[in-house]
Structure 1
Amino acid sequence: MAKAVYDFIIKNGYSFNEKLEPVELFDSLIRNKFKEPLSVSYLKTLTCLARTLKEELVSKGKISLQFINSIPLRYNNNTSYNTTRRHLNVLVNYLYENNFPIERSKLKSRKQEETLHKPIDNVKKLLAKVKAFNEDLYLCCLFTYGCLLRPHQEIRLLKWEDFTSDLSHIRLSGNQVKSKRNRIVPVSLKIREILKRKEGHLNIFTGLKQPYSRSYFIQLWRRFKRLNPEVDREITLYSFRHSGAIDIFKRTGSITKLQKAMGHSSMTVSLTYLRGLEVAELKEGDMPMI
């Protein structure tokens, strides 16, 4: 008899658990999602989107598919659209999979052009100019070119504990890099000679626990360009990374090594760095033997 009653209750959608109101359920699920090991910047982005969704839920009593689609559609720039769409889908899919009343978006990604930063003709000459301007910016450029790290996150947030004891390598976990994959990067002797190790938990630029703001190197580079108008206007901090990629390929001829050095998840992305680069033509000896 008891089993029959239980089966009837379950079959008709009743529950022994107290049913949460939509806002309470939303808050509970979002809290659980944010307990996952997420990078600081990624968590900040998801928090902003979650706040937007909650405001709509509180105001309208539900989160409609039309509203969900309207968030990425605000952007005309394809990169911004794709990024927002991807992050938003992470939250919406999580809510959907945990029985929150919400529809999944069916918006497709947009094709976007890869941003190609102009290579530097004379890296040593430009580095000398940067060194005379600011030591922090100089070290940032060295890491960007010599270690192929990205300046505004991967380099800016570096701590001494990210280096091996002899400073010969940098070890970054997946939540510290764009590709979300662990990276081990060799550090050249020229860079090691400049470094003066401090306590592991300290940022290598500030000497404190806290790093500089995200705009730190952006502002330094702008000031450097204003004071050095002879530097090509199209040269950016990422031009050092692009130039380093080309140098690696010219010396090794290996796309696989280039992909690994750049920390790319796809070889297709690595190939974009070689656009316009003259690659040696195939010779008869390069062809498969019969």
Structure 2
Amino acid sequence: MSSELPADCTAILFKQALNKKLHSDLSKKHKNSLTRLYNRFMEFLGDEGRAQPLTSLTTPIIEKFLEQFSSSATHYMNKRRDLGVLFNSASRIIDVNLLTVKKTEPQRIKAKLHQAYEKEQLQPVLDFIKAFHKNLYRCCLLTYGCLLRPHEEVRLLTRKHFKADFTEVHLGGRENKGGRVRMVYVPDYVRAEMECSLSLLRRDDNIFSGKSIPYNESYFSRQWSRAKKELISHGLIYPNQTLYSFRHSAAINVFRRSKDVYLLQKMLGHSSVVVTLKYLRSLGEFNSDELRDAAPIL
């Protein structure tokens, strides 16, 4: 069909835009998200819409497409962002600055407080997980002790990532969300759990699967889903505490002890201190008493 369509038609330009993104340094998760949105948008346009020039797409058309993602502001804005990525890439191919997606009505996302684990919760939760879910326990330790992201950075760790007698983890720019080379310290309690099994692995073996191929993207999501039901039934966690809460808890622990937001930025692997400040605010770390005490006086 593409050979019968003009070069500036939406179908051809969007396909070229998607291919560019699929061959870029974006994460696999983001690429999959863009692919799904591309398929939905092409289906929405139909044969006639796909054959139209890209410049004929209007903001009302885009808003009508985005209406189907209005179940939540977060869902809507994520799809709006992904469509904007493809639209901008396609418009650059024809060297025309189109603001069609940017002019659509945004939805305001309400900030959510991620509930970290309370100090007295942390050890009982870890002990319970250790007794029944070995790989999940190690994931929780690495998420907390090294402040690594569980579903990507931790899940994909191999023997070669551990350096200096297992006291450090080194990640390349393509191996972490921040996009920069990252080195994290491995605390003694993490090293004590991991050292024996790491010494038995080959350089490229994944630390959880024991093979060169890691478990799939949903591996720890499924593990946590099963464990969470047990943890809640035993009164060990609250419903809105998650696997990511270990990273949140670690961030709060580091900040409260150091009061150094720049140190925390490095440990979290954030691209800028602004991201870290937003992270702390979303955790509710800046409360009204702290703001009151820090307010300027006359």
Instruction: Quote the residue 2:118 is aligned against.
Output: 120
Match of 1:35 in 2: 23
Q: Distance in 2 between matches of 1:75 and 1:124?
A: 40
TM-score normalised per structure 2: 0.77
Give matches, 1:256-267, under 5 Å: 256-264=262-270, 265=272, 266-267=275-276
Say whether the 8 Å CA contact 1:255–1:270 is kept in structure 2.
no
Further displaced range: 140-149 or 151-160:
151-160
Q: Which residue of 1 aligns with 2:100?
A: 104
Corresponding residue to 2:37 among 30, 49, 55: 49
What is the Cα deviation at residue 205 of structure 1? 0.8
1:278–1:44 CA distance, 2 compared to 1 (3 A)? same
Are the equivalent residues in 2 in contact too, given 1:120–1:240 (CA < 8 A)? no
Shift of 1:201: 2.5
Q: Distance in 1 between matches of 2:65 and 2:162?
A: 40
SS at match of 1:184: strand
**Alignment partner of 1:86 is 2:74:** no
Contact conserved, 1:258 with 1:270, CA < 8 A, in 2? no
Q: In the alignment, is the contact (CA less than 8 A) between 2:168 and 2:183 conserved in 1?
A: yes
- Cα distance in 2 for partners of 1:69, 1:202 equals 47
More helix by share: 2
Greater mean deviation of Cα atoms: 52-61 or 193-202: 52-61
User: Is this contact kept in 2: 1:255–1:271, CA < 8 A?
Assistant: no
Deviation at 1:277, TM superposition (A): 9.1
Specify the SS of the correspondent of 1:132: helix
1:233 correspondence with 2:221: no
Inter-partner Cα distance in structure 2 for 1:165 and 1:202: 18
CA distance in 2, matches of 1:67, 1:48: 19
Change (3 A) 1:163 1:86: farther
- 1:45-194 matched pairs, under 5 angstroms: 45-55=33-43, 56=45, 58-60=47-49, 61-62=51-52, 64-65=57-58, 66-73=60-67, 74-99=69-94, 104-105=100-101, 106-107=103-104, 108=106, 110-122=108-120, 123-194=122-193
Q: Tell me: CA distance 1:30–1:221, structure 2 relative to 1, closer, same or farther (3 Å).
A: closer
Q: Structure 1: which 5+ residue stretches go unaligned?
A: 1-18
CA contact (8 A) 2:124 2:236 kept: no
Assess if the C-alpha contact under 8 Å between 1:117 and 1:238 holds in 2. Answer: no
What is the rounded CA distance, in whole Å, between the counterparts of 1:181 and 1:271 in structure 2? 21
Counterpart Cα distance in 2 of 1:186 and 1:76 = 41
Q: Percent identity?
A: 31
Residues 147 and 250, structure 2, Cα contact 8 Å, conserved in 1: yes
User: Between Structure 1 and Structure 2, whose CA radius of gyration is higher?
Assistant: 1
One-letter amino acid matched to 1:203:
N
- Relative to the length of structure 1, the TM-score reads 0.79
Q: d(CA) in 2 for partners of 1:194 and 1:217?
A: 18
